[in-house]
Amino acid sequence: MIKRALLAGTANLILGFVLNWIFAIIFPSITREYMTGSLFRPWTDPLMTVYFLYPYILGFSMAYFWPIIEKNLKGKDVLSKAGEFAKLYFIIATVPGMFITYTSFNISLLMVCVWALTGFLQAFLYGLVFFKVNKKIR
């Protein structure tokens, strides 16, 4: 479980950096929203260093539930099973989380949609990593 969580957390930390860079190019208004809004802590705040633990915390949470969920995922190959895993996570966690985020924070719908898409892609990557690690363990 630890190996799975650490690999998935590292992969998703990298994916998060890449997606942030891509979305900043595609949607410059999101970058302005991050910089001008009072909702977020400034990067100079020492507490922001803890922010980078999030992919690992989520990785350990997902790795814990992985053995329970894996046997119930439909699909014939790794990609379809990872997609099922991402869809399950998206429906259970991302949709309600983004709903409450949009209705309670002063952020744009575009930012919420980008966060939702990022959540789905990260869950997909967790699924891919978990399947690959399981294949090597067996």
Number of domains making up the chain:
1
pLDDT in tens, the chain (138 residues): 788 888 888 998 899 889 989 998 999 988 888 877 677 788 888 998 898 899 999 899 988 888 888 888 888 888 888 899 999 999 999 999 999 999 998 889 999 999 999 999 999 999 888 888 766 654
Structure tokens at 96: 């309600």
Domain that holds residue 76: 2-137
Q: Is 72 exposed, middle or buried (0-12, 13-18, 19+ CB in 10 A)?
A: exposed
Q: What pLDDT, on the 0 to 100 scale, is given for residue 138?
A: 47
Q: What pLDDT, on the 0 to 100 scale, is given for residue 136?
A: 60
Q: What is the model's pTM?
A: 0.82
Q: How many CA atoms lie within 13 A of 70 on its CB side?
A: 18
